[in-house]
Amino acid sequence: MSVVTATGPGATRVVASVEAFEPLLVAFVRGTARWLDPWFPQRGRRGEPAGQVVEELDFERRGLRLIRHADALELVAVGLEDATLALRWSYVVAGSEIRGTSVQLTVDGPHHASCIADFETWFGANQTD
- Domains of the chain in sequence order: 2-124 (3.30.530)
pLDDT (0 to 100) of residue 8: 85
The CA distance from 10 to 6, in Å, is 8
pLDDT (0 to 100) of residue 76: 98
pLDDT (0 to 100) of residue 128: 61
CB contact at 8 A, 65 and 75: yes
With bands split at pLDDT 50, 70 and 90, how would you rate the model's confidence at 124?
A: confident
pLDDT in tens, 61-81: 999 999 999 999 999 999 998
Residue 32 has pLDDT above 80, yes or no: yes
Task: Choose among 48, 49, 81: nearest CA to 62.
Answer: 81
The CA distance from 20 to 123, in Å, is 16
**86 compared with 128, residue with greater pLDDT:** 86
With bands split at pLDDT 50, 70 and 90, how would you rate the model's confidence at 125?
A: low
Rounded to an integer, the average pLDDT of 90-118 is 93
What is the model's pTM?
0.92
Provide the percentage of residues in the chain whose pLDDT is more than 90.
80
